[in-house]
Structure 1
Amino acid sequence: MKISFPKARGPVAALTLAIAQLAHAHAFPKHEVPAAGATVSSSQNSVAIDFDDGLESEFSAITVTDARGNSVTSGKAVVDPSNAKLMWVALKALTPGVYTVTWVAVAADGHRTEGEYTFTVKE
């Protein structure tokens, strides 16, 4: 016995295609340094995030704050001119504690994603 399903047509096919395109239109992190949940030394001097899509540098950002909510970034986040998928920010000297990385990524097509994670500086 062979079972066959009708092919999607009309609005269903259009909706399926639209959803598939939207799913690929946002930039999401592939790799972070330091990684989410990592424990690092106080010599950590930057945060870098590699995304799966190119970024608009004017609208994308990384901020890093200490446990009190004070910024520890040294300057503005930069999208690497030779690799539009890589964004990084320099850090001030870090002391032991937990730090929160907050990122905003605006893909080249204008779609925005954001997120955050923490890492710990060991004593």
Structure 2
Amino acid sequence: MFFSNSGRPGLRRRVAMPVFCGATLLIAQSVFAHVFPSKQEPGAGTTVSAPAQVKITFDGPLEPAFSTLSVTDVTGKPVSTGKASIDAQQPDVITVPLPALAAGHYTVHWIAVAADGHRTHGDYSFNVK
């Protein structure tokens, strides 16, 4: 026996349209996603021995030309010794070298620009014992 939906020509459209819209939304979310930190070294609020660098791993690739990472002391003076860098082999990781830090409170400032151009930024602090 052969079944036909010729009696209901709009059925296919009514089913296809929500599926199409849902798929479009899923694709748009992944294409226009902002990146956020997934791991910070040293971590936010931690007390550590003087680190040689600050390293932040994001949940997506970064645009190296526009993403930055810096560290300041309690007075707001920059203590980062070099320019932040993103390794081509790990485009989701940004690092900045540090000098031997004295005991104290330090703040990390980051700006992350995703490969699609969307920008996020944030700050967090850590302490050196």
TM-score (norm 2): 0.77
| 8 Å CA contact 2:32, 2:118 repeated in 1 | no
CA distance in 2, matches of 1:57, 1:84: 8
Alignment: residue pair count: 112
Give secondary structure in 1 for the equivalent of 2:38. Answer: strand
- Is 1:110 aligned to 2:117, yes or no? yes
Q: Which residue of 22, 29, 33 maps to 1:25? A: 33
Gaps of 5+ in 1: 1-6
- Name the structure 2 match of 1:51: 58
CA distance in 1, matches of 2:86, 2:39: 15
* 1:15-94 matches, cutoff 5 A: 17=25, 21=29, 25-42=33-50, 44-94=51-101
CA 1:40–1:23 in structure 2 vs 1: closer, same or farther (change >3 Å)? farther
Gaps of 5+ in 2: 1-14
Which amino acid counterpart does residue 28 of structure 1 have in structure 2? F
* RMSD value, Cα: 2.3
The Cα shift of 1:88 comes to 0.3
Q: Deviations over 1:92-115 (max 9, x none)?
A: 220111100010000001110000
- Name the structure 2 match of 1:3: none
Higher helix share: 2
The Cα shift of 1:17 comes to 2.0
Report which of the two structures shows the higher radius of gyration computed on alpha carbons: 2
TM-score (norm 1): 0.81
CA distance in 1, matches of 2:69, 2:30: 23
Residue identity (%): 49
